[in-house]
C-alpha cells in the first residue's frame, strides 16, 4: 500500500508541474501536441482538438509536449514562434505550480496540525543555551542574521552550519537581546544549543497563510542549502535520492505511521508531498541544460541580446545536459537500490 501511495503522490506532483506548462502554453496560443500522465506506452488516449491526452503505462511522471525542442519549427502556434517573454512564462510555470501545490498542502497541514512558532518550550540543563541565559518563553528572532520563522529552523541551521558559533537574537517581554552561543556536538554527531520547542499551536486567520508560506520557504531554503552542501562537501552523491529512494521513503513513512491511525498517515504523507513538490520546483529551476532552468538561461540571453542563440548550439547543449542527467539518474538509482538492500 505504501508503494502505491508513493507512486500516486509522486505522479500527482509531476502532473501538477506539467499542468503549469500546459495552461500557460494554452494561454499564450502555443500548440500542445500531447499532454500525458505517466511515461512509456499509451494505455488510454484521446485526441481533443490539437492535443492528444494520454494515460501511459509507467506511473512515474508526465509530459507536456509543446515542440520546444523542434527549433526549426516557426509555424503559427509553435513554441518557438512566440515572443521570448511568452516562452519564459510557459517554462517557469512548471516550477511555480510546484510551489503553489506545496503552499496548498502546507495550508492543509497548518490548519490541521498547527504551527511550531520559534518560542522556547524548555532549556536543557547543562547545555550552552542555559549557560547563555535563555529561558522558557523566549522567542528566537534570528541566528547569525538568518531570520527564524519556525522552531525547526534552529536545528536545520545547526545542521547546515555544523559547529559554528551562533549569534542568537531573541525576544523577551517585548525587548530584544543577543548572545553568542557555541553549539555542542552529541555522540551521534549533531550540534545542539539545548533548546526545546513549545510544540505545535493552532494558527488562525492570516496566520494560516503566513505560516504556510513559511513552510514552503523553509523547504526551498533547505533544498538550496543541501545543494550547497553537495558543492562544499558537506554531503556526498550517496546522499542523493531519486524516484526509487522517494518511493522507499514514502513507504517507510506509511509503515511507521499506520499504527497511529489514518490521521497520522495522511498528515505525514501531506508533509512529504510539501517537501517533494518544493524540491522539484527548485531542482527544475537550476540553470542546468535539459532542465527548465537551463532553458530559461537561453531565453534570458535571447531577451538581453534581442536575438536567439543559434538553435543548433542550444540543442547540442541540451542534448549533452540530458545525457549527463541520465547518467546521474543511473548513479542515484544504484545508490537507492543499494540502500534498500544493504
Count of C-beta atoms within a 10 Å radius of residue 54: 20
Q: How far apart are CA 213 and CA 271, in angstroms?
A: 14
To which residue does cell 496566520 refer? Answer: 207
Q: Give the count of alpha carbons within 13 A of 286, CB side only.
A: 17
Q: Are 9 and 273 in contact (CB under 8 A)?
A: yes
Q: How far apart are CA 94 and CA 20, in angstroms?
A: 5
Q: Are 71 and 312 in contact (CB under 8 A)?
A: yes
Segment (H or E) for 102: helix 84-113
Tell me the backbone φ, ψ of residue 319, rounded to 5 degrees: -65, -45
Task: With CA atoms as reference, report the closest residue to 109 among 273, 275, 271.
Answer: 271
* Distance in Å from the first CA to the final CA of the chain: 23
Residue 153 appears among annotated catalytic residues: no
Segment (H or E) for 255: helix 243-257
Residues noted as catalytic: 18
Amino acid at each position: 500500500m505504501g508503494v502505491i501511495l508513493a507512486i500516486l503522490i509522486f505522479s500527482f506532483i509531476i502532473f501538477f508541474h506539467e499542468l503549469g506548462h500546459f495552461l500557460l502554453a494554452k494561454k499564450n496560443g502555443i500548440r500542445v501536441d500531447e499532454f500525458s500522465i505517466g511515461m512509456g506506452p499509451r494505455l488510454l488516449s484521446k485526441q481533443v482538438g490539437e492535443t492528444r491526452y494520454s494515460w501511459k503505462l509507467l506511473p512515474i511522471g508526465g509530459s507536456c509536449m509543446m515542440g520546444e525542442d523542434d527549433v526549426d519549427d516557426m509555424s503559427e502556434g509553435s513554441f518557438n514562434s512566440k515572443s521570448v517573454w511568452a516562452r519564459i512564462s510557459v517554462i517557469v510555470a512548471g516550477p511555480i505550480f510546484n510551489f503553489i501545490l506545496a503552499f496548498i498542502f502546507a495550508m492543509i497541514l497548518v490548519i490541521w496540525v498547527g504551527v511550531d512558532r520559534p518560542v522556547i518550550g524548555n532549556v536543557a540543563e547543562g547545555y550552552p543555551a542555559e549557560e547563555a541565559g535563555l529561558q522558557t518563553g523566549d522567542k528566537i528572532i534570528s541566528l547569525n542574521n538568518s531570520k527564524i520563522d519556525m522552531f525547526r529552523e534552529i536545528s536545520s541551521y545547526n545542521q547546515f552550519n555544523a559547529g559554528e558559533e551562533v549569534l542568537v537574537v531573541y525576544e523577551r517581554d517585548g525587548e530584544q537581546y543577543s548572545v553568542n552561543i557555541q553549539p555542542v556536538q552529541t555522540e551521534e554527531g549533531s550540534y545542539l544549543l539545548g533548546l526545546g520547542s513549545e510544540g505545535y499551536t493552532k494558527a488562525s486567520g492570516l496566520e494560516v497563510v503566513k505560516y504556510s508560506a513559511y513552510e514552503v520557504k523553509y523547504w526551498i531554503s533547505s533544498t538550496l542549502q543541501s545543494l550547497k552542501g553537495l558543492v562544499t562537501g558537506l554531503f556526498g552523491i550517496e546522499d542523493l535520492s531519486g524516484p526509487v529512494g522517494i518511493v522507499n521513503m514514502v513507504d517507510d513513512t506509511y509503515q511507521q505511521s499506520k499504527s497511529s491511525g489514518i490521521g497520522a498517515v495522511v498528515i505525514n504523507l501531506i508533509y512529504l508531498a510539501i517537501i517533494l513538490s518544493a524540491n522539484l520546483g527548485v531542482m527544475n529551476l537550476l540553470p542546468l541544460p535539459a532542465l527548465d532552468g537551463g532553458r530559461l538561461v537561453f531565453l534570458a540571453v535571447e531577451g538581453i541580446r534581442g536575438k536567439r542563440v543559434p538553435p543548433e548550439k542550444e540543442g547540442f547543449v541540451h542534448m549533452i545536459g540530458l545525457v549527463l542527467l541520465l547518467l546521474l539518474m543511473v548513479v542515484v538509482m544504484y545508490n537507492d537500490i543499494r540502500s534498500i538492500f544493504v
